[in-house]
Amino acid sequence: MKKYLLTASFWLLALLITLSAAIYQRVTGPTYPKKISLNDGTQNYALKLTRSAESTGDLHLEFSLPDSAIYAFLEYRRFPTNESWQKDSLVRKGELLVGMLPMQPPAGKIEYKLTFYKAGKTLTPSEPMHVIVRFKGAVPTNILIPHVIAIFLAMLLANFSALLALARKNSARLYAFITLGMLTLGGMIFGPLVQLHAFGELWTGAPFGWDLTDNKTLIAFIFWIIAVYKNRNQVNFKSIIVAALITLIIFSIPHSMFGSELNHETGIITQG
DSSP string for residues in 39-74? E-SS-EEEEEE--EEETTSPEEEEEE---TTEEEEE
pLDDT tens, per residue, the chain with 272 residues: 677 888 999 999 999 999 999 888 888 888 899 999 999 888 899 999 999 999 999 999 999 999 999 999 999 999 999 999 999 999 999 999 999 999 999 999 999 999 999 988 999 999 999 999 999 999 999 999 999 999 999 999 999 999 999 999 999 999 999 999 999 999 999 999 999 999 988 988 888 878 888 899 999 999 999 999 999 999 999 999 999 999 999 888 877 666 778 788 877 877 65
Q: Judging by beta carbons within 10 Å of its beta carbon (0-12, 13-18, 19+), is residue 151 exposed, middle or buried?
A: buried
Q: Judging by beta carbons within 10 Å of its beta carbon (0-12, 13-18, 19+), is residue 251 exposed, middle or buried?
A: buried
CATH superfamily of the 34-136 domain: Immunoglobulins (2.60.40.10)
CATH 2.60.40.10 in the chain is located at 34-136
Q: CB of 162 within 8 A of CB of 245?
A: yes
pTM of the model: 0.88
94: left (phi over 0), alpha (psi -120 to 50) or beta: left
